[in-house]
Amino acid sequence: MENASPVVESSPEKAIGENTEAATYSGQQAQSWRAENPMTDQALFLLVEDNPDHVLLLQRAFKRAKILNPLQVVRSGEEAIEYLAGKGKYSNRAEFPPPALVLLDLKMPGIDGFDLLRWIRHEQGMAGLRVVVLTTSDDARDVDRAYKLGANSFLVKPTDFDRFVEISQALNGYWVWLDESPGLPRLPLPAVSTRSEAHQAPAK
């Protein structure tokens, strides 16, 4: 399947260039976002991924896991900002609604996953947007940096299809559960099996 909310008119380049960590968002802000973008079978997932093979794998895994949520794919950080801001070819919100969940690759040319995370957490109205990092990197420094910038969970991409299905099922169950607990904006992803490569958020 190839091809959020109102945002302030701030420059993505300015936000990305700031050397500050994402502002901590409040439970009230997160609850407001989730009230406007509830997690249902129709809630849209936004996949930010530049590798077409990984896109295909995740699409197949969602189908096998019987996840009914539509999956919108964007191929770069720049395109993700355009989608989230509702600009350019994504200006029609009836056709391109705000996502309930972002699945984010880190290693992309141009605006990478870290840059996009920073931009999201600086944008008014996006504080409660759920972001799961799904990447090939298992570097502890990447894990720590992603959480500091506001990621909700960090998953290392598995190497085989069955484990992609397991992670897809865990994602679906986790976010449905989290949607019922709006006062808890950032929680660890439950392990999908004893072989899970999920990283839990550091204790606060």
Q: List all residues 6 or more positions away from 66 whose beta carbon is below 8 Å from its beta carbon.
A: none
Distance (Å, whole) CA 82 – CA 64:
30
| Number of domains the chain contains | 1
**pLDDT band at residue 38, thresholds of 50, 70 and 90?**
very low
Residue 12: pLDDT over 80 = no
CB 172 within 8 A of CB 67: yes
Instruction: Map tokens 């894990």 to a residue.
Output: 143
Distance (Å, whole) CA 106 – CA 69:
23
**pLDDT band at residue 27, thresholds of 50, 70 and 90?**
very low
Task: Tell which wins on pLDDT, 1 or 91.
Answer: 91
CA distances from 132 to 14, 94, 95, 169, 181 (A): 24, 24, 23, 14, 17
Q: Looking at residues 121-133, what average pLDDT do you find?
A: 90
Tokens of 154: 């960090």
Q: What is the pLDDT of residue 39?
A: 46
Task: Tell which wins on pLDDT, 59 or 171.
Answer: 59
Mean pLDDT over the full length of the chain: 74
In this structure, is residue 73 part of a structural domain? yes
In this structure, is residue 82 part of a structural domain? yes
In this structure, is residue 6 part of a structural domain? no
> 45 pairs with which residues across the strands?
71, 101
Q: Looking at residues 176-202, what average pLDDT do you find?
A: 43
CB 158 within 8 A of CB 193: no
In this structure, is residue 204 part of a structural domain? no
In this structure, is residue 133 part of a structural domain? yes
Q: What is the pLDDT of residue 189?
A: 44
Distance (Å, whole) CA 148 – CA 131:
13
* Residue type present at position 164: F
In this structure, is residue 5 part of a structural domain? no
In this structure, is residue 4 part of a structural domain? no
pLDDT in tens, 48-105: 999 999 999 999 999 999 888 899 999 999 999 999 999 999 999 999 999 999 999 9
Task: Tell which wins on pLDDT, 30 or 159.
Answer: 159
Edge-to-edge strands, sheet with 45-48: 71-74, 45-48, 101-104, 130-135, 153-156, 198-199
Q: What is the pLDDT of residue 174?
A: 63
CB 67 within 8 A of CB 124: no
The residue count of the chain comes to: 204
The domain that holds 163 is classified in CATH as 3.40.50.2300
Does the pTM surpass 0.85? The reply is no
Q: Which domain holds residue 75?
A: 12-199
In this structure, is residue 112 part of a structural domain? yes
Q: What is the pLDDT of residue 176?
A: 57
